[in-house]
Homo-oligomer: A and B are copies of this chain.
Amino acid sequence: MGRVSDKRERLIESACKLFHEAGFKDTSIADIAEDSGVPLGNVYYYFKTKDDLAAAVIDQRAETIKECARQWEENPDPKARLLSLLDMQESMKEQIAQYGCPVGSMCQELDKDRQPISEKADGLVNWQLKWITEQFRLMGQAEADKMGVQLMTALHGCGVVANALNDPKIVELEMARLKVWIGKL
């Protein structure tokens, strides 16, 4: 049974979790090594630099988001797809209140530098905005662009405010409001 080592995956998984919970700069390679059970020196066999590991985390997050979108797209009704997105956000309210939105907080933190890695993170937001806008367009909304921005800012605003106030109710409240809004369209 030539079973392949899963160390690379474990490293990404640990980094994904720790970057979200503690932030990129406050998570050391040693922290990730310990959490994943991979010895420190061995990390560099899989990832040449810490930024490379971060890039892999962002890629994995992109894959997760796109997989969600694929599932929602099994429903032909674009309105229902958006409601699914809001449902998911609501289900993550505790996590968001405690650590912030995984995508938004990472973008904010990495965007402070001007590295290629921050552009990669920003690409996630760009992709998300385009997907949302496309759903509004499919709903026949003439102002789909504006509505896309409106929904995106509401989603990411929730992350910041709920996290600052440490209150999942903020997410709950906003998702309920947005569902009513989308439902009426």
A binding-site residues for B, Cβ under 8 Å: 21-23, 25-26, 99-101, 104-105, 107-109, 111-113, 121-122, 125-126, 129, 146, 149-150, 152-161, 163-166, 170, 173-174, 177
Contact = CB atoms under 8 A, between A and B. Distances in A.
A160 B108 contact: yes
Contacts of A113: 22, 26
A7 B177 CA distance: 49
A112 B21 contact: yes
Contact of A107 (B126, B157, B160): B160
A122 B170 CA distance: 14
B170 A125 contact: no
Given A21-B112, A105-B108, A161 B165 contact: no
Consensus secondary structure, chain A interface: helix
Contacts of A129: 161, 165
A22 B14 CA distance: 26
A178 to B, nearest CB: 10
A57 to B, nearest CB: 15
Given A25-B26, A177-B150, A108 B163 contact: yes
A23 B109 contact: yes
A23 to B, nearest CB: 4
Contacts of A150: 154, 174, 177
A160 to B, nearest CB: 4
